[in-house]
Amino acid sequence: MNVAVIGLGYIGLPTAALLATSGHRVYGYDVDARLRRSLQLGDVPTLEEPVREAALEALRSQRLQIVDRTPLAQAYILCLPTPTHEGKPDLRFVEAAAAAVAEVAEPGAIVVVESTVPPGATERIVRRALAAHGKPIEDYVVAHCPERVIPGSIMTELRNNARVVGGRIPADAEAVRELYASFCQGEIATTSIAVAEFVKIVENTFRDVNIAFANELATLAEDMGVDVWETIALANKHPRVDILQPGPGVGGHCIPVDPHFLSDANPIASELIQSARRVNDRMPFRIVRRIGELVGPGQGAKIAILGAAYKANVDDARESPTVRIDELLRDRGYETAIYDPLVKRFHRPLCETLDEAVSEADAVVLVTPHDVFREIDPAAVARSMRRPRLVDTRRFFDPARWQGCGFECYVLGRPFLQPVDAVV
Ligand code: SAJ
């Protein structure tokens, strides 16, 4: 089949590559001319090696072609971002892509929206776009098939995750299920468009609420003088309990965003969801308060932050808790130095080396639990610092080891400032 993938970001590009290596002829289009140009030259901007390899293979075989306008194709897969601004969903990228598709698509073409959208939006946007060209939606196959992959494991999850395909009518869902079955080995369930849209938002909201629960437990545990990490690990041994992990806040472009699609649609009926958002948004403030308790007031004290990415082992810093923690610290008069060997794009300069970050620092704060940070030698860090103090927001380091090197430690969700032997 000739398939056009519109939007070549972290979902569109690997999807295009997978379709191409599964025997389809694929056209990839993105509004970003620089991205198109670099892909045309075989330069694939991604940290995930399997994505790069699959994209290069698809480009070399010419089964994937990067095109400079929305092409004529038998199927269109729309993979555009849907950000929120102050809690309001912004669907303009999807609307613009749908308008361009509607202009060229011929009757019988498949139009799939993968972007996360509020229930009802897929059909409304595609119907309007087609109508603007006098084309009735009934002449097209229209579906929503939300992406579900986790950054860091994109190719594997694209191939293997179960998918949900919501069709405007059952026959549309079935046609799109067949297309996805050509590259996805996971179970593919079919339903209506609105259910598929709701499922996607519910999945990410479930995670946000569960993390908020863990974050609230961390606060309670500190007050009660118990260890939240041990508590959660033991509670999760119950066959019907599965609590996520506390942390410095929820980042990325999905989990902190998608709950707003529900609270925006019905602010009255989404009390728990909004409250979870607030709990998670408050975490950077709590971490900064603890830093203040450990280090004293700003007045030029230097804080070294480990990690700019929103989560472990990715290069993506969007909505990262580091951004907020850094802002709050600087507002309070601290000097900050951020070190993340994975992140290439950040709104402020990052330190080139760990030593540059920790040199003369008054505290080191672990925000992102990258595997590479496991190699850090606390004794060497202590020698560089003005005064060795550690704030570990992920219970990543072994506090006994750091304390053995002279560090005063605060670990989120553990009784604060306890003696060495109690922390082991
Ligand atoms: N986090 C915690 N505690 C945890 C787990 C995560 O604080 O126990 C934090 C992370 O550090 C990070 C944030 O939550 O800051 C989000 O990370 P994540 O790994 O939970 O999620 P994403 O945004 O990388 O990917 C999610 C996934 N959704 C679900 O697992 C339900 C992915 O499958 C979706 O495709 C993706 O959102 C998306 O695009 O919607």
For 63-109, what is each residue's pLDDT tens digit? 999 999 999 999 999 999 998 888 888 999 999 999 999 999 999 99
pLDDT digits (tens, 9 = 90+) for 354-364: 999 999 999 99
**Which is nearest to 287 in space by CA: 336, 354, 342?**
336
| Region of residue 84 (phi > 0: left; psi between -120 and 50: alpha; otherwise: beta) | beta
Judged against a pLDDT cut of 50, whether residue 419 lies above it is answered with no
pLDDT at 86: 85
Give the CA count within 13 Å in the CB-facing half-sphere of 92.
Answer: 6
To the nearest 10°, report the CA torsion of 146, 85, 309, 389: -140
Q: What is the pLDDT of residues 165-183, one digit of tens each?
A: 999 999 999 999 999 999 9
Q: What is the dihedral of CA 168, 173, 175, 179, to 10 degrees?
A: 120
Rounded CA-CA distance 205/208 in Å is 5
CB 203 less than 6 A from any atom of ligand 1: yes
Token pair 């230097």 is found at 302
Top mutation candidate among 207, 210, 318 for ligand 1, by most atoms within 8 Å of CB: 207
The 10 Å Cβ neighbour count of residue 289 is 12
Provide, for the chain, the percentages of residues in helix, strand and coil under a 3-state DSSP scheme, each rounded to the nearest 5: 45, 15, 40
Mean residue pLDDT across the chain: 95
Q: Would the CB of 369 count as within 6 Å of ligand 1? A: no
pLDDT at residue 2 is higher than 90: yes
Question: What backbone torsions phi and psi does residue 174 show, to the nearest 5 degrees?
Answer: -65, -40
Q: Output the six-digit token pair for 396.
A: 């990543």
Q: Ligand 1 centre from 137 Cα, in Å?
A: 35
Whether residue 18 has pLDDT greater than 80: yes
Please give the residue that has the higher pLDDT: either 421 or 376. 376
Distance (Å) from CA 150 to ligand 1 centroid? 7
Q: What's the 71 CA to ligand 1 centre distance in angstroms?
A: 33
The amino acid at 200: K
Q: What is the rounded radius of gyration, in angstroms, for the C-alpha atoms of the chain?
A: 24
End-to-end CA distance of the chain: give it in Å, rounded. Answer: 59
pLDDT bucket at 47, cuts 50 / 70 / 90: low
* Integer angstrom CA distances of residue 423 from 25, 94, 147, 415: 58, 51, 42, 9
Q: What is the pLDDT of residue 421?
A: 45
Least confident of 64-78, 200-214, 281-295, 408-422: 408-422
Do the Cβ atoms of 252 and 319 come closer than 8 Å? yes
Q: DSSP letters along 17-34, please?
A: HHHHHTT-EEEEE-S-HH
Say if residue 424's pLDDT is above 90.
no
Please name the residue whose Cα sits nearest to atom 11 of ligand 1. Answer: 311
Q: Does ligand 1 come within 6 angstroms of the Cβ of 307?
A: no
Q: How far apart are CA 185 and CA 374, in angstroms?
A: 35
